[in-house]
């Protein structure tokens, strides 16, 4: 299992495939494993770099350093460790916020951005939602936190029609042995609440795709549309009837949109020259 000492933290990562590097950044409390369907599609043309954020999966738990800016520095440090001068960056949910900060603070390291289920400021709805989750996490009730979380991760009709499937995800990712500790969840919720790049997004100059679900109950369509408006030249594709878990529930559609974006913007430039060593 590859690990790299980045900013004093043992960061677990994986590299698969060959070609232009793509860095995949995961969201709140989850591990790199949720990117598996994207990596399966990308690795035939791109070199896919995924990793576990602080306190998740195989990466060290830390008491401090839990800010979006610090996590962006972790991502930059991992690229340096792999001797990758620049990469396409795909981030989901909190991972998309980390991607924004990475592009703002290290523009030379980011070739393009794919921001999935993204936002750029602490909307009152988001703040209230994450504050409730924080209080549940402080109670130490993992099952209750999992039950509450799936209510905004999935559409109501998907829960009604695929409850067993959702329950498996809930037990595996939110309640099972591989779940993140409550301390990590609380830290990540604070990062979700405090993320604010609204007045700095204009600094992002790389090709950017805002990709998400039109029916995302957590990161609502207007939040994603604001990111699109604030990044000049960006593209937006909100998938009808898709929710926060689009990358896992309809991976083929998400992958097709993302790969098409890279092909149109970069075409045959994607190749093995810049791959991680």
Question: Strand, helix or coil at 108?
Answer: helix
Predicted local distance difference test score (pLDDT) of residue 168: 76
Distance CA 197, CA 172 (A): 32
Judge contact between 196 and 121, C-beta under 8 A: yes
Strand partners, 113: 89, 208
Say if residue 181 is exposed, middle or buried (CB neighbours under 10 Å; 0-12, 13-18, 19+).
Answer: middle
Distance CA 184, CA 32 (A): 15
pLDDT digits (tens, 9 = 90+) for 20-54: 999 999 999 999 999 999 999 999 999 999 999 99
User: Which comes out higher in pLDDT, residue 147 or 103?
Assistant: 103
Strand partners, 212: 238
As a whole number, mean pLDDT of residues 145-166 equals 84
pLDDT digits (tens, 9 = 90+) for 223-276: 999 999 999 999 999 999 999 999 989 999 999 999 999 999 998 544 444 334
How many CA atoms within 13 Å lie on the side-chain side of 149?
25
Second-level CATH architecture of 3-121+196-274: 3-Layer(aba) Sandwich (3.40)
Distance CA 207, CA 217 (A): 27
Domain boundaries, the chain: 3-121+196-274
Phi, psi of 12 (to 5 degrees): -85, 135
């Amino acid at each position: 299992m590859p690990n790299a000492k980045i900013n004093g933290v043992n960061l677990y990562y994986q590299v698969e495939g060959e070609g232009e590097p793509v860095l995949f950044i995961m969201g709140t409390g989850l591990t790199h494993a949720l990117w598996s369907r994207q990596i399966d599609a990308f690795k035939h043309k791109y070199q896919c770099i995924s990793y576990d954020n602080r306190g998740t999966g195989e990466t060290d738990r830390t008491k401090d350093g839990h800010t979006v800016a610090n996590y962006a520095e972790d991502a930059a440090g991992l690229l340096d460790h792999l001797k990758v001068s620049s990469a396409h960056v795909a981030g989901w949910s909190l991972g998309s916020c980390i991607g924004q900060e990475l592009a703002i603070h290290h523009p030379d390291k980011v070739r393009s951005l794919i921001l999935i289920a993204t936002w750029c400021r602490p909307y009152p709805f988001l703040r209230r939602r994450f504050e409730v989750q924080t209080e549940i996490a402080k109670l130490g009730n993992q099952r209750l936190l999992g039950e509450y979380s799936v209510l905004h991760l999935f559409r109501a009709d998907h829960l009604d029609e695929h409850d067993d499937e959702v329950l498996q995800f809930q037990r595996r990712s939110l309640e099972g042995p591989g779940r993140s500790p409550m301390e990590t969840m609380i830290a990540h919720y604070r990062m979700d609440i405090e993320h604010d790049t609204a007045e700095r997004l204009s600094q992002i100059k790389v090709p950017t795709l805002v990709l998400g679900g039109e029916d995302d109950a957590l990161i609502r369509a207007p939040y994603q549309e604001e990111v699109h408006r604030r990044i000049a030249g960006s593209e937006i594709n909100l998938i009808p009837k898709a929710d926060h878990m689009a990358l896992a529930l309809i991976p083929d559609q998400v992958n097709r949109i993302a790969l098409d974006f890279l092909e149109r913007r970069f075409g045959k430039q994607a190749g093995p020259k810049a791959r991680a060593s």
